Chain A
Amino acid sequence: MSVRRTVAQQIPGLVPGIFFFAMALGAAAGSATLDLAVDLFAEGSWAAAHVEGLRVQAEVSGPGANRAQSLAAVSSLRLDAGRESAKDVLANLWRAGSADLETRCMAAYEYGLADWADGGTNAAAALEFAYLETRDTPLFWRAGCSLYFYLKADKPLRESRPATWRSLQSCRDAWPLAVWQECRPRKPRGPSVASLPGRWIVAFYRAQIGPAIGSRCDLQPSCSEYFLQASRAHGWLGVPIMADRFVREPSVVSAREKPVAMPDGRVRFADPVSDHDRWLKGKP
């Protein structure tokens, strides 16, 4: 996992706030052409929303194109793909006087969050712009709450913006609890301690043994991945689950059920962990 992604997980608004953004954009769109892109965004289909946003951007002009561009860029951020160019797009939208004010505010808010996640220096200015300029209440709450947490963690920055800080403190009581929870920075959750031995064994196998003997497993997922998944899900129980698979492997292969065509042309046989640990989780 990249450092950037780890940091991004601590920043508010990247995962929650999806519906807020989609609703705000949908309300601002005022055009049927962006409906599908907004729906896809609200569903969390980032890649599809990104493509759809670009498609609408190419088809329309004026404010609609700006909104579509904003949605495509935010989808790209959610995907964690093309992050820098997406940030550039949002920064341009924020600073461009040609876009309508609400689109600029939304772009500034999203850019501020992304810049905060990346440890940039423009986050405060972007969030402050969104907080001070927007006429959209949910965006006003979120931009304010995010800016509050951002400034709270940085005393010099806070002291350089005394009026904004006083304003944030005076209106913080109006923010709903859900907004507080959404905007609060979260610490990333690491892997469970119980899964560590399994992860070490697999890491050793993949680094030292796998390259020497090549890909030998006929099952999908591969045995090392299976062990990893089982260890993640069940800690030390991953050991007997893996041993059971080693014993079963020839029978599963000879049964030739559930064939899976791999990208390299090989055929493997599906044997997911979920087929063998349902009873550990209880009935669905």
Chain B
Amino acid sequence: MKQGSGFGVREAAGRAGGSFPRRGKKVSMAWKNQPVFSTVWKTIAAAALASGWAAAAEPARLALDLDAEGQREAAAIEFRRLALAGEQAEDAGRWFWLAAHEYSLGEKLELSNQMLDRAEDVAPFALAVPVAWMRAENAMRGQDWASASFHFDSLRLKADADDLREFAARGAAAANLRGENVAGARQALAGAPGDLAEARAAIDRYAGRRDKKPWVGGVLGLVPGLGYVYSGEYANAARSIILNSLFIWGMVETGGDGDWAVFSVLTFAEFTWYSGSIYGGIDSAHRHNQRRLDAAVDEIRGEKPLRPDLAQVPLFSLKFEF
């Protein structure tokens, strides 16, 4: 995918008089395919840092450094420490939000959602947009498509910037498509701002073709390699045919010679390859369907980084290159 570049929290802090060491200009791509996501949390961090928290600057730096090192849980704990020490409710909410983000990156979705609950508890409505966003992303990561769609819709309603609404619409469409709701995916894009022609075309392409049937792959897998061929995995098919042929040939030869010990070993091995051919026939159909879905979702979500809602965090504008 194309990579956006822009100002991270360190650059923002530098502008605001902070003294973070610079460590490259790229926006972190830890949240794959969603550069804007990284951008928003860094924006919130920048807002938190630049809003006069001199006392909290050192712990925040530690948390950000831990984040940079990929120590998600440790970074989240540091943010939580700041939240508990925060005197202003909104500041505590931001720190909780950042902790939620770290937990989310660390695949601890339940904890992430708990932190979002706390952020909302201490600062109701102040973080409506980023909280909705994070909940949607957590739901996507947790493969809870209905919730993801709901939260993206919620984000769309709460957002007051067109590009954020477009992002939310794309997310809702992707969640619906993953939930096998093609009509819902189309509906999610209806009326959304921005150029969504490619996303709509991706949905049409996806809906216009049929999934491979795993049971057909399994039945074809009874002939070694044919299940893989059905799903377009020709190299795997060739390997399966060769392996099965070799071992069947070995069985025939050793059986003919009366070498029953070797025959038994080869038979067990052939059973392995043969059962693998059937399993592979089924699984390759699933893989094919998954790849097709992934490709459609990637197209729907797009590669265009969005601008964060600066009304929420009015510190600086982010600039991305395409």
B226 to chain A, nearest CB (A): 13
A–B complex contacts, Cβ < 8 Å, 6 sampled: A36-B80, A243-B275, A243-B280, A244-B279, A244-B283, A251-B235
Given contacts A48-B77, A240-B272, A242-B272, contact A250 B239 (CB under 8 A): yes
Determine whether the beta carbon of B279 is less than 8 Å from that of A36: no
| B 129-144 binary contact with A (CB < 8 Å = 1; else 0) | 0000000000000011
Q: Which of B57-88 contact A (CB under 8 A)?
A: 73-74, 77, 80-81, 84
- The answer to the question of B243 belonging to the interface, with a C-beta cut-off of 8 Å to chain A, is yes
- The answer to the question of B276 belonging to the interface, with a C-beta cut-off of 8 Å to chain A, is yes
- The answer to the question of A155 belonging to the interface, with a C-beta cut-off of 8 Å to chain B, is no
Determine whether the beta carbon of B275 is less than 8 Å from that of A248: no
Q: B residues engaging A (CB < 8 A)? A: 73-74, 77, 80-81, 84, 111, 114, 143-144, 214, 228, 233, 235-236, 239-240, 243, 271-273, 275-280, 282-283, 286-287
A284 to chain B, nearest CB (A): 5
Residues in chain A near residue B239, CB distance under 8 A: 247, 250
Q: A residues engaging B (CB < 8 A)? A: 32, 35-36, 39-40, 43, 45, 48, 52, 237, 239-244, 246-248, 250-251, 276, 278-279, 284
* Supplied contacts A35-B84, A251-B233, A279-B286, 10 more A-B pairs, CB within 8 Å: A239-B271, A241-B276, A242-B276, A243-B272, A243-B277, A244-B276, A244-B279, A251-B236, A279-B214, A284-B144
B82 to chain A, nearest CB (A): 10
Assembled-state Cα–Cα distance A176/B272 (Å): 52
Residues in chain B near residue A39, CB distance under 8 A: 80
A209 to chain B, nearest CB (A): 15
Given contacts A36-B81, A243-B272, A251-B235, contact A45 B279 (CB under 8 A): no
Determine whether the beta carbon of B279 is less than 8 Å from that of A241: yes
B107 to chain A, nearest CB (A): 12
Residues in chain B near residue A279, CB distance under 8 A: 214, 282-283, 286
Residues in chain A near residue B277, CB distance under 8 A: 243, 247
Residues in chain A near residue B280, CB distance under 8 A: 240, 243-244, 247-248
Of the candidates A35, A240, A251, A284, which one forms a contact with B279 in the assembled complex, judged by CB atoms under 8 Å apart?
Answer: A240
Assembled-state Cα–Cα distance A156/B260 (Å): 62
B254 to chain A, nearest CB (A): 20
Of the candidates A237, A250, A278, which one forms a contact with B286 in the assembled complex, judged by CB atoms under 8 Å apart?
Answer: A278
Of the candidates B233, B235, B272, which one forms a contact with A239 in the assembled complex, judged by CB atoms under 8 Å apart?
Answer: B272
Assembled-state Cα–Cα distance A32/B80 (Å): 13
B220 to chain A, nearest CB (A): 14
In the complex formed, the residue of B with least CB distance to A47 is B73
Assembled-state Cα–Cα distance A39/B271 (Å): 52
Determine whether the beta carbon of B272 is less than 8 Å from that of A247: no
A257 to chain B, nearest CB (A): 10
Determine whether the beta carbon of B236 is less than 8 Å from that of A247: yes
Assembled-state Cα–Cα distance A225/B276 (Å): 17
